Structure 1
Amino acid sequence: MVGVVIAAHGNLARELLQATVFIVGKAEQVTALSIDPSRNIDELQKDIRNAVKEVNTGEGVLVLTDMFGGTPANMTLALLEDNKIEVITGANLPMLIKLCQCRHRNQSLHEVADTVVDHGRKSINQASAILKK
């Protein structure tokens, strides 16, 4: 099963994981990492690497961050040299729910990443436009 690290500013990662567990139940091989930009960069890098090791069973790790260009994303980009790690930015709750559902389908890391990104994009809507239909 693909491991998952959610890394985001403040407590967002922890809250996203809690909301996901509330909806889908237990989330195995998933960890949340709160990034405080005031902390030492070397410590944060070590925390991220440890989180990846914690959830990695050999099938790869998907790292979800809150936004491209933010500290969590920038710090995880260095991990992309390993082809068993993929980073997705702009994480949202529908992405995490889909991720928990599709990790059990014997898909590769990159197939899971594609599925999650596609679902995340489709979940962003302008409510008034939908209601007009």
Structure 2
Amino acid sequence: MIGLLLITHANLGEAMIQCACHVLNRRPPQLLQLGVMAQDDPRDLQPVAQEMLGWLDKGDGVLILTDLYGATPANLAMSLVRPGQVEAVAGVNLPMLLRVLNYREYPLDVLVKRAVAGACDGVLQIKPIRSEER
């Protein structure tokens, strides 16, 4: 099973994990988060994140999900990428996280594609229900 690490601003990762636990009615294994606070020095977080990768990788690799491309959490994630072993995807949202949690038995390269598709598929405009449908 591929390990998952969320590296996000502040408590976003933990909040997303709690939402996923609510939807799935359980806490998925091999899932951790690292919240980056405004006062954190990314150089201090590098060894922490590296240690977390060691806890998560049981031989199938780790996928890092991060929030905003180009921001400190994504830059930290980028520094951890090892193609084929540790991959990262920016733009995490709840549909992406749920998709990834349901396809962790797939190879890492396939899981990356599923993550991106899950994020995109989960973004939809909500239209009002017509009065005759109510």
Q: Identity of counterpart residues, as a percentage?
A: 26
Mapped partners of 2:38, 2:122: distance in 1 = 29
Structure 2 residue identity aligned to 1:37: A
Are the aligned partners of 2:42 and 2:72 in contact in 1 as well (CA < 8 Å)? no
User: Which residue of structure 1 lines up, in the alignment, with residue 120 of structure 2?
Assistant: 121
| 1:16 corresponding residue in structure 2 | 16
Partner of 1:61: 62
**Equivalent-residue separation in structure 2 for 1:116 and 1:58 (angstroms):** 20
Report the equivalent of 2:77: 76
| AA partner of residue 116 (structure 1) | A
User: 1:60-111 deviations in whole A, cap 9, x for unaligned?
Assistant: 100000110110000111122343011010101111111111113xx11010
Any gaps of 5 or more consecutive residues in structure 2?
none
Larger Cα Rg: Structure 1 or Structure 2? 2
**Aligned-pair Cα RMSD in Å:** 1.6
SS at 2:69's partner residue?
coil
SS at match of 1:14: helix
Aligned-pair distance for 1:37?
3.4
Kept in 1: contact 2:84–2:109 (CA 8 A): no
The one-letter amino acid of 1:111's match is V
Q: Does 1:92 align with 2:93?
A: yes
Gaps of 5+ in 1: none
Asked if the contact 2:69/2:91 (under 8 Å) is kept, the reply is: yes
Give the Cα separation in 1 of the matches to 2:108 and 2:8. Answer: 21
* Contact 2:93/2:119, CA 8 A, preserved across alignment: yes
What is the SS of the residue equivalent to 1:127? coil
Cα distance in 1 between the residues matched to 2:22 and 2:34:
18
Q: TM-score, normalised to structure 1's length?
A: 0.90
- 2 CA distance for matches of 1:58 and 1:37? 33
Distance in 2 (alpha carbons) for counterparts of 1:40 and 1:125: 36
Q: Partners of 1:81 and 1:57 in 2: how far apart?
A: 15
Aligned length: 129
SS in 2 for 1:68: coil
2:107 maps to 108
Higher helix share: 1
